[in-house]
Amino acid sequence: MLSRLVGIALLGLGVVYLTVACESLPGFLGGEAGHTSPRTGLGIVAVFFAVAVAVGLFVTRRRPPSTPHQP
């Protein structure tokens, strides 16, 4: 559950970093006055980690045990 929330938060943060101009970001997200381009590098890194969390969740998903096959 927590890893899903982390993945969603990273994906949201990545989208914000990729679309919002740097000067429009709040200070705790690294906003700087006068910079009009988005923080593309940080956005790509955040989206990458969000995808990594999603793949990790998919790979570690447990299947219910199956019954043994009897001839």
Q: What residues contact residue 6 under an 8 Å CB cut-off, 6+ apart? A: 53
Q: pLDDT value at position 71? A: 64
Give the CA-trace dihedral at 31, 33, 34, 36, to 10 degrees: 30
Q: pLDDT value at position 40? A: 83
Q: Where are the domains of the chain?
A: 2-59
Q: pLDDT value at position 58? A: 80
Q: What is the mean pLDDT of the chain?
A: 82
CA distance 41 to 17: 8
Output the pTM of the full model.
0.72
**What single DSSP character describes residue 55?**
H
Digit-coded pLDDT (tens) for 38-56: 888 888 999 999 999 888 8
